[in-house]
Amino acid sequence: MNDRTADGFGEGEVVREDEFVKLVAHRSADLLSIMKALADSELPADLINRQLIARILSQATQLVELLDRYGAHNNSKWRIYRLLMATVKGFAGVSYEMHHILSVLPSYRLIPVDRDFVGATEEALDFSNGVIRRSGMEMLAQAEELQVAIPEGAALESLSSPQLPSGVLSRDRPAHTEANVSQTVTFLATAFLNVASECQGVRAASRVGPDQYASFIPNVISEEKLRYLCHRLHNLQSLYDTWVSDTQTEKIDENLPVLRGHISVGFHLLTVATSLIHYYERHIESGHSTRRSVALLVNPAELLHTTMSYSVLFAGVFLDAARTLCQGMLKNYAEISEIELPVPRYRGFHVRPSTLIAKIVLYYGSDVQLKLNGHSYDASTPLEIFRANETINASKRQWLASAVAEHDLIKGVCRDCVDVMDRVRQIVTDLAGCGKMMIYAQPMVLRDAPVNENGTLLECVIDEIAHLQATGKIDINVELTIKFRGDKRVLNDLKLLADHGYGEDNLGNDVVLPNELAYLRR
């Protein structure tokens, strides 16, 4: 039977069993031969090299597609054989990724970390290869039960390709010149920071101990989330290869190839994690596989340990290292500028706006100063920004004194002739009606009597209104501005934040921030 005939079957037609057995035997011959050689061999595990894994992966992928074409997963007789084939395919993919990491690791120029990444990769590879070998042995048993012919296993050495020669080809193609080195570097570094912010869950999971591994699945670490992050890193890798690779910029800035290595290793590690967590969710947590079949192939505790303590942990480690690298690159290529922005309308720089400003500055890792009335504040620290409120409130009180002094309810009026607290209420209400004050407490409750017993009417009114402001019952609406000085990219995001009320409306309610500031929500 050929593929053309097979593809011609109608949906409701049942394939003849003897024809299907012959087809599977024909298609499985090479893979079964390899599995028999592995089962019979007492040679060291390192003979299961990258070339052999690639061959296993290719054969298993084709066989899974064939079995799915005939609905083997819905057939009680062939279901286990298909599960075994899919397991071999999945873990061959995992092993191939780790072989790739080991083979190209020197070219990645990774920032040194205080962990043995090579040793951990080799340990994880042994685990994955062990699953392949156990699955192969079970596959042979299933093939015999299904009467699928098993060819004699070839000598394992003959299945492996010859040792590859060392070295690489000479790099003699001339680099092309970039018109704007700064723009290219900052574009890439900023793009990586955006992706890294989306990997926050992975970075958090990389810092926990074994007793917390299971708690991260599936809310933080899941197949769906990992596939999305792989896609984001793969896109970033493509951006690099399109705009930076083989440019004069890449030769000038030695940090760029380092960043490329971190992007790539992060992508491959999360690809491994995706395959491992797929098996964990599909065949262990969901119960789709029989307990016997799972127990024969994969130890759940070892699978979870390899997923979290190898692929997730090192992905988090290298992503963190690259974030620091990118922030340093942005500092080196920073285009310093200055921008004037309005003071937040609701209570100035209180907790929410100060925190959001600091998060933007820390996200880029840049030095940004908030400048107000001759004073400078570190915009990366909320407590520093809080301090600016002292100056802002002093300006508001200065405006208040002037506004009250010019008010008709004060000018030429003697304190003894009026009820001071009633006069306070009237003035506050009048200023609120003119848009110069915001009343937050309704009804507005005043003290029974002014605290300043000996002051003039003007002094008493100013003191009482200042007390209402200090206790958060009112605020003074004065159009005040502040200046930020620092990296232009940071200032652009700060302006965007200011355009959206620093995350709140005039009454302190949440305001939805634009997608460009999505990293603030993580």
361 and 494 in a common domain: yes
Instruction: Identify the band that residue 7 occupies on the pLDDT scale cut at 50, 70 and 90.
Output: very low
Determine contact, residues 279/303, Cβ cutoff 8 Å.
Answer: yes
Is the confidence at residue 10, as pLDDT, over 60? no
Is the confidence at residue 149, as pLDDT, over 60? yes
Is the confidence at residue 2, as pLDDT, over 50? no
Question: What pLDDT digit, counting tens, does each position of 461-489 carry?
Answer: 888 888 888 888 888 888 889 999 999 98
Is 218 inside any structural domain?
Answer: yes
Instruction: Identify the band that residue 288 occupies on the pLDDT scale cut at 50, 70 and 90.
Output: low
Is the confidence at residue 93, as pLDDT, over 50? yes
Question: What pLDDT digit, counting tens, does each position of 184-206 carry?
Answer: 788 888 889 988 888 888 989 98
359 and 314 in a common domain: no
Q: What is the pLDDT of residue 4?
A: 43
Q: What is the pLDDT of residue 355?
A: 94
Q: Omega into 218 within 30° of 0, i.e. cis?
A: yes
Is the confidence at residue 450, as pLDDT, over 70? yes
Counted residue by residue, the chain has a size of 522
Question: What pLDDT digit, counting tens, does each position of 346-361 carry?
Answer: 888 989 999 999 999 9
- Which residues on neighbouring strands pair with residue 336, listed in sequence order? 487
User: Rounded mean pLDDT of 427-444?
Assistant: 84
436 and 314 in a common domain: no
Q: Which of 367, 362, 400 is nearest to 382 (CA)?
A: 362
Encoded tokens for 67: 């079995």
Q: What is the pLDDT of residue 293?
A: 57
Mean pLDDT of the chain: 86
Q: What is the pLDDT of residue 153?
A: 66
More confident residue, 243 or 517: 517
Q: What is the pLDDT of residue 132?
A: 93
More confident residue, 292 or 207: 207
**Residue written as token pair 């490329």:** 260
Burial status of residue 176 (CB atoms within 10 A of its CB: 0-12, 13-18, 19 or more): exposed
Q: Which of 99, 87, 106 is nearest to 125 (CA)?
A: 99
Is 348 inside any structural domain?
Answer: yes
476 and 379 in a common domain: yes
d(CA 337, CA 218): 44
- Backbone region of residue 444 per phi and psi (left: phi > 0; alpha: psi in -120 to 50; beta: other values): beta
d(CA 83, CA 89): 10
Domain span including residue 418: 339-521
206 and 283 in a common domain: yes
Instruction: Identify the band that residue 221 occupies on the pLDDT scale cut at 50, 70 and 90.
Output: very high
d(CA 519, CA 504): 17
344 and 326 in a common domain: no
201 and 306 in a common domain: yes
Least confident of 37-41, 56-60, 161-165, 393-397: 161-165
Is 174 inside any structural domain?
Answer: no
Instruction: Identify the band that residue 46 occupies on the pLDDT scale cut at 50, 70 and 90.
Output: low
Q: What is the DSSP string of 296-312?
A: HH--HHHHHHHIIIIII
- Dihedral of CA atoms 322, 326, 328, 330 in degrees, nearest 10, equals 180
* Non-local CB neighbours of 294 within 8 Å, separated by 6+ positions: 283, 284, 300
- Dihedral of CA atoms 111, 112, 114, 119 in degrees, nearest 10, equals 110
d(CA 485, CA 335): 10
Q: What is the pLDDT of residue 9?
A: 46
Q: Where are the alpha helices (DSSP H) in 41-180?
A: 50-69, 79-108, 117-145, 156-159
Using the 3D structure, point to which of 298, 333, 368 is the last residue of a domain.
333
Least confident of 4-18, 123-137, 188-202, 495-509: 4-18
This prediction has a pTM of 0.77
Is the confidence at residue 368, as pLDDT, over 90? yes
d(CA 58, CA 148): 20
Q: What is the pLDDT of residue 1?
A: 41
Is the confidence at residue 33, as pLDDT, over 60? yes
d(CA 353, CA 348): 8
User: Rounded mean pLDDT of 281-305?
Assistant: 74
d(CA 132, CA 98): 14
Is 241 inside any structural domain?
Answer: yes
325 and 343 in a common domain: no
Distances (CA, A) of 7 to 31, 72, 359, 430: 23, 15, 57, 83
Q: Which of 307, 298, 334, 128 is nearest to 213 (CA)?
A: 307
Q: What is the DSSP string of 284-340?
A: IIS--S-HHHHHHH--HHHHHHHIIIIIIHHHHHHHHHHHHHHHHHHHHT--EEEEE
Using the 3D structure, point to which of 333, 359, 376 is the last residue of a domain.
333
Q: What is the pLDDT of residue 289?
A: 57
Q: Which of 358, 392, 396, 326 is nearest to 484 (CA)?
A: 358
Domain count, the chain: 3
Q: Which amino acid is at 82?
A: R
d(CA 232, CA 238): 10
Determine contact, residues 344/504, Cβ cutoff 8 Å.
Answer: yes
Determine contact, residues 519/363, Cβ cutoff 8 Å.
Answer: yes
- Which residues on neighbouring strands pair with residue 486, listed in sequence order? 337
Q: Which of 418, 415, 398 is nearest to 469 (CA)?
A: 398
Encoded tokens for 364: 């880029």
Question: What pLDDT digit, counting tens, does each position of 372-427 carry?
Answer: 988 899 999 999 999 998 888 888 888 888 888 888 888 777 777 788 888 888 88
Q: Which amino acid is at 269?
A: L
Is the confidence at residue 92, as pLDDT, over 80? yes
Determine contact, residues 38/48, Cβ cutoff 8 Å.
Answer: yes
18 and 57 in a common domain: yes
443 and 494 in a common domain: yes
Q: What is the pLDDT of residue 26?
A: 93
402 and 370 in a common domain: yes
Distances (CA, A) of 334 to 327, 379, 489: 10, 16, 8
Is the confidence at residue 44, as pLDDT, over 60? no
Q: What is the DSSP string of 33-52?
A: HHHHHHHH--S-GGGS-HHH
Is 171 inside any structural domain?
Answer: no
206 and 284 in a common domain: yes
Using the 3D structure, point to which of 333, 367, 397 is the last residue of a domain.
333
Is 74 inside any structural domain?
Answer: yes
Distances (CA, A) of 325 to 84, 244, 328, 329: 43, 17, 5, 6
Is 167 inside any structural domain?
Answer: no
More confident residue, 365 or 2: 365
* Non-local CB neighbours of 81 within 8 Å, separated by 6+ positions: 24, 67, 72, 139, 142, 143, 146
Is 168 inside any structural domain?
Answer: no
Q: Which of 332, 341, 254, 34 is nearest to 158 (CA)?
A: 34
User: Rounded mean pLDDT of 289-309?
Assistant: 78
Q: What is the pLDDT of residue 464?
A: 84
